[in-house]
A and B are shown apart, each in its own frame.
Chain A
Amino acid sequence: DQQVKQNSPSLSVQEGRISILNCDYTNSMFDYFLWYKKYPAEGPTFLISISSIKDKNEDGRFTVFLNKSAKHLSLHIVPSQPGDSAVYFCAASEVSEKLVFGKGTKLTVNP
């Protein structure tokens, strides 16, 4: 039973355009959501998070949107840069609990 789903295994965008990565979840008890970026042979790097009491959080080029009624969140990267090419993982947790990860979306930003 996959509680966090990233339905797009891959995404390709042009440099300078917007990248939108999507994530759906099924557990209504999740109240904290995070995005991690991962390069091959490295550990996940924390990007941005959002609490369930908010619907948007922004940090530089990265914005995360949360739609609780739809159990959906998305990560927007604008403008996209070639260095953003990596695998992006969505993760969710209940209060003070373990993280549940999606399977990841491989983003390729073409120069």
Chain B
Amino acid sequence: NAGVMQNPRHLVRRRGQEARLRCSPMKGHSHVYWYRQLPEEGLKFMVYLQKENIIDESGMPKERFSAEFPKEGPSILRIQQVVRGDSAAYFCASSSRLAGSGDTQYFGPGTRLTVL
């Protein structure tokens, strides 16, 4: 999927554990987005980050969820004290935000989180 890397592809956690999902954007892209897809639903926006900055976190649950995109390394979506309702597919997308063009986001393969 256009070079966006996500790992792990599958993650199993027990209730109360922490989940860390990683995303490396396409080469040359400095904008990262996280989306969540629940069964039989479309993708829902969670958070938008640039390097070292959270631009829009309006879709993030207020508790237990956090995201970062450090100067070096991948973007991390962290879920603390996971609950069964966190089970979903989490997708990362990246874009280049070229001036004057539409913002096409390219998606990674996703991380499927299962909470037991």
Task: List the interface of chain A (C-beta within 8 A of B).
Answer: 4, 32, 34, 36, 41-46, 49, 51, 89, 91, 93, 96-104
Contacts and interface: CB of A to CB of B under 8 A. Distances in A.
Contacts, number: 65
A32 B102 contact: yes
Interface residues of B, number: 29
Contact of B91 (A32, A34, A43, A96): A43
Contact of A96 (B42, B103, B104): B103
Classify the interface of chain B: helix, strand, loop or mixed.
loop
Contacts of B35: 99, 101
Interface of B: 1-2, 4, 6, 33, 35, 40-45, 48, 56, 58-59, 91, 93, 97, 102-110, 112
A98 B59 contact: yes
B109 A43 contact: yes
A99 B105 contact: yes
Nearest to A48: B104
Nearest to A32: B102
